[in-house]
């Protein structure tokens, strides 16, 4: 009980501070990290090829199941998390690794507060897991993860983050795995710039303040400012829900009559912005992007409700986590890269059904095209 109290107190202190893990100088981008740690380059390339190849079963499986705790958000329209776990389990089975997965949900109606999320994570830690998979998108989560890394009893895999925290340089998590948010945002910026829109003003819908809002939102704004004549005239921080994004986009469209596009930082935000654009009857006049290219976004693209998205080769994320555990169990932990960053493809509403189907087969090779 004392440990729980001190743990929650630590989170409360972090919440009241002004420190942000997403400050430009607090983390490395993928390329920056590889420049600082050149020994990681070949390890990363070799591992990426391993992820693309068919599974090779473990020579000597462990006698007892590997215990894995997974903490992930439950309230998102995006199927990224569900697909990641599905592909992760499928690859573990192909690798002949016996396992037990214990899922823990955050951001449910019962534990939407940071304090309740901390309790949920602590429950996962106390489950006796060999590996703990969780994400980092609120600045206060850094204190939680620092505690876990220093504990060293459970190996931490940070999912959906590919930017190593500088403060952890001497003791990084077991692995960062996901898709480079900055790269994806720049691909979307390049697409918008290629359209050479008549209306140069645009709006930006942020994720809640923290890591994701920096690497998806701020990076997009900075890159666009440096490389185009587009003007950011309005931005909102959302609570990441579809309804809140729709409400904010409605206000943005009322206040700004000449927007060329609204940049959306996630699936839920994109669909909310699309709702507002439709309500104002501005389809094809004000463009909006998706972010991630999951099933909901691809369906919206096919219906003309979104104009473009950057599609993650989603299942590579789960495969990478499984292959990292295999290397660890095989005594080859040094061959696990600090970062695994998967591939992106830009998809538009004009992409042919044949192309989209081919990409779905690649991206969802384990979780299935019709996975919900």
- Per-residue pLDDT of 74-117, as tens digits, reads 656 668 888 999 999 999 999 999 999 988 776 544 445 566 66
Q: What is the 3-state secondary structure (H, E, C) of 58-102?
A: CCCCCCCCEEEEEEEECCCCCCHHHHHHHHHHHHHHHCCCCEEEE
Strands of the chain, DSSP E:
66-73, 99-106, 131-135, 155-159, 175-178, 201-206, 231-237, 259-264, 287-288, 308-312, 339-341, 344-348
Task: Identify the residue with better confidence: 127 or 18.
Answer: 127
Query: Which pLDDT value is given to residue 113?
Result: 57
Task: Identify the residue with better confidence: 23 or 66.
Answer: 66
31-35, 81-85, 192-196: range with lowest mean pLDDT: 81-85
Task: Identify the residue with better confidence: 318 or 104.
Answer: 318
**Whole-angstrom distance, CA of residue 114 vs CA of residue 15:** 8
Would 2-179+314-342 and 182-291 be classified into the same CATH topology? yes
Burial of 215 (0-12, 13-18, 19+ CB in 10 A): buried
What value does the mean pLDDT of the chain take? 87
**Whole-angstrom distance, CA of residue 285 vs CA of residue 198:** 10
92-106, 120-134, 163-177, 288-302: range with lowest mean pLDDT: 120-134
Query: Which pLDDT value is given to residue 139?
Result: 59
pLDDT higher than 60, residue 7: no
Q: Which residues contact 39 (CB under 8 A, 6 or more apart)?
A: none
pLDDT higher than 90, residue 266: yes
At 197, is the secondary structure helix, strand, or coil?
coil
Query: Which pLDDT value is given to residue 22?
Result: 42
Q: Are 302 and 328 in contact (CB under 8 A)?
A: no
The fold adopted by the segment(s) 2-179+314-342 is Rossmann fold (3.40.50)
168-185 tens-digit pLDDT: 887 899 999 999 999 999
Query: Which pLDDT value is given to residue 119?
Result: 73
Domains of the chain by residue range: 2-179+314-342, 182-291
Written as six digits, the tokens of 12 are: 């409360």
The vertex-56 CA angle with 55 and 58, nearest 5°, equals 120
Strand 308-312 vs strand 344-348: parallel, antiparallel, or unpaired?
antiparallel
pLDDT higher than 50, residue 125: yes
Q: Are 318 and 91 in contact (CB under 8 A)?
A: yes
pLDDT higher than 60, residue 12: no
The vertex-141 CA angle with 136 and 143, nearest 5°, equals 130
Residue identified by tokens 């992106």 is: 344
37-49 tens-digit pLDDT: 999 999 999 999 9
Mean pLDDT (whole number) for 57-74? 90
**Whole-angstrom distance, CA of residue 84 vs CA of residue 316:** 8
Query: Which pLDDT value is given to residue 357?
Result: 96
352: part of which helix (H) or strand (E)? Answer: none
In angstroms, how far is CA 297 from the centroid of its own chain? 15
The fold adopted by the segment(s) 182-291 is Rossmann fold (3.40.50)
What band does 9 get if pLDDT is binned at 50, 70 and 90? very low
| Residues across the chain | 372
Mean pLDDT (whole number) for 119-134? 81
pLDDT higher than 80, residue 21: no
Strands of 301-354, DSSP E:
308-312, 339-341, 344-348
Closest CA to 92 of 71, 62, 125: 62
CA distance to 8, 77, 135, per residue, from 73 (Å): 19, 10, 9
Written as six digits, the tokens of 51 are: 């992820």
Mean pLDDT (whole number) for 238-244? 95
Q: Are 250 and 276 in contact (CB under 8 A)?
A: yes
């Amino acid at each position: 009980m004392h440990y729980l109290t001190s743990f929650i107190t630590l989170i409360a202190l972090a919440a009241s501070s002004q420190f942000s893990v997403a400050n430009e100088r607090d983390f490395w981008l993928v390329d920056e990290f590889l420049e600082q740690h050149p020994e990681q380059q070949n390890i990363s390339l070799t591992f990426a090829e391993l992820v693309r190849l068919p599974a090779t079963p473990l020579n000597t499986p462990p006698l007892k199941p590997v215990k894995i705790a997974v903490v992930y958000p439950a309230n998102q329209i995006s199927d990224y998390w569900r697909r990641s776990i599905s592909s992760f389990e499928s690859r573990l089975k192909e690798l002949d690794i016996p396992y037990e997965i214990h899922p823990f949900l955050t951001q449910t109606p019962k534990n939407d507060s940071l304090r309740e999320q901390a309790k949920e994570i602590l429950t996962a830690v106390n489950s006796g897991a060999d590996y703990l998979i969780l994400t980092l998108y609120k600045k206060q989560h850094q204190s939680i993860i620092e505690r876990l890394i220093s504990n060293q009893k459970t190996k931490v895999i940070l999912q959906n983050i590919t930017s190593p925290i500088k403060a952890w340089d001497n003791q990084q998590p077991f692995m960062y795995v996901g898709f480079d948010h900055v790269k994806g945002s720049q691909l979307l910026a390049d697409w918008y710039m290629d359209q050479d829109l008549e209306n140069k003003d645009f709006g930006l819908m942020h994720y809640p303040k923290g890591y994701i809002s920096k690497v998806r939102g701020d990076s997009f704004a900075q890159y666009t400012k440096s490389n185009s004549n587009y003007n950011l005239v309005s931005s909102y921080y959302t609570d990441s829900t579809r309804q809140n994004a729709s409400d904010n986009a409605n206000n943005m469209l009322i206040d700004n009559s000449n927007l060329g596009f609204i940049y959306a930082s996630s699936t839920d935000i994109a669909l909310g912005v699309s709702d507002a654009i439709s309500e104002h009857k501005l389809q094809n006049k004000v463009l909006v992007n998706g972010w991630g290219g999951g099933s909901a976004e691809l369906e919206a693209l096919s219906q003309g409700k979104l104009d473009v998205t950057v599609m993650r080769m989603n299942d590579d994320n789960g495969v990478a986590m499984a292959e990292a555990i295999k290397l660890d169990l095989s005594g080859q932990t040094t061959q696990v890269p600090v970062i695994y960053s998967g591939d992106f493809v830009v998809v538009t509403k004009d992409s042919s059904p044949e192309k989209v189907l081919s990409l779905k087969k690649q991206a969802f090779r384990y979780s299935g095209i019709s996975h919900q």
